[in-house]
Amino acid sequence: MLKKQQLIGPWAGLPVAWKDDLSFDETTYRSDVAACCAAHVHGVYTGGTTGEFYAQEFEDFKAITDATVRECRNGRTPVMIGCSSTHTLGVIRRARHAAERGADAIQVALPFWMEVPDSAVVEFFKAVSDSVPGMPMTIYETTRAKKVISLALHKQIHKAVPAVIGVKSNASTLGHTEAGCRALSRFYHVFVGENMWYKLGPAGAIGSCSSFIYQNPRVMLYVFDLRLQKKWRELNTWMDKYDHICAEGLKPMFTVGCEDSAIDRVLGLSAGFLKTSLRCRGPYPSCTKKHLVDFRAWLRKHHPEFLEL
């Protein structure tokens, strides 16, 4: 089981490899997990937005979870499984399977089709935790859940659900602000986007469910070491590079409606570290081979260091 002090660093938030018929390509996916383990990432995570949890039936989830856990066990790397769903029983069903297969932790977002009222938030996380006794849990905070959890609610969760050891804070949530990150860091480990380590590292941010780690693990592990050593000026230089990649290098893909999993596949394939497919499950758009070729050319011109594995 994952301990709080182990929940640090860039965890590889992997996309799922799909075959041409959009069935699970276990062979390719397991090779990507194994590559991350061999690169000594701090942990492997799937079942978030990049892992397309929202586009998986339970049978898909089981196969992907089993493959992830087995490969991480082989590579002696901590593994966290995202278990989000549109309803409590759906989350519990996934959480129990992840626990039975030997995951080190689970990650859960609030159900997102209808907004969960304040009065039901603590009860939801407690019900999930009670279904998998002793399983460490992190909270996936995103405005896609239609709710931003307040500091007061986080304090109630912390008191009622001691299994929660961390929170993944995305844009416009509490932990994505300096004051909020500092407050949450008093009882959780806080993960934010990699490009926010310079701003939020001094407030306690200690890791990320990362896509840049599998664009180039050598570079990202070096950057995280700067965060640990509190070399803020040098870290800021790298944050500017990541911001430039997001704002300009990936812009053509964002412009045509590609997001999260589609973008992260291009990042992982850009230097050849991942072998995953470009395809996402519909109806969500996928990036094209031309996007990948153009992005590689852009990196070669502006940031060639990211292409050197």
The CATH number of residue 96's host domain is: 3.20.20.70
Tell me the per-residue pLDDT of 114-131, one tens digit each, with 9 for 90 and over: 999 999 999 999 999 999
Paired tokens of 258: 């590609």
Residue 298, domain member (yes or no): no
Distance CA 77, CA 211 (A): 17
User: C-alpha angle 141/143/144, rounded to 5°?
Assistant: 100
Banded pLDDT at 132 (limits 50, 70, 90): very high
Structurally, the chain folds into a number of domains equal to 1
Burial string for 128-139 (b: 16+ CB within 10 Å, else e) reads bbebbeebbbbb
In a domain, 304, yes or no: no
What range defines the domain where residue 62 resides?
4-229
Note the pLDDT of residue 12: 98
User: Encoding tokens for residue 229?
Assistant: 């050593």
Does residue 84 lie within any of the structural domains?
yes
The reply to whether 272 falls in a domain is no
In this structure, is residue 301 part of a structural domain?
no
Helix (H, G, I), strand (E, B) or coil at 236: helix
Residue 260 in domain: no
What mean pLDDT do residues 284-304 have? Answer: 98
Is 175 part of any domain?
yes
**pLDDT tens digits, residue range 255-271?**
999 999 999 999 999 99
Torsion of CA 238, 234, 217, 22, to 10 degrees: -30
Q: Is residue 182 part of a domain?
A: yes
- The pLDDT assigned to 45 comes to 97
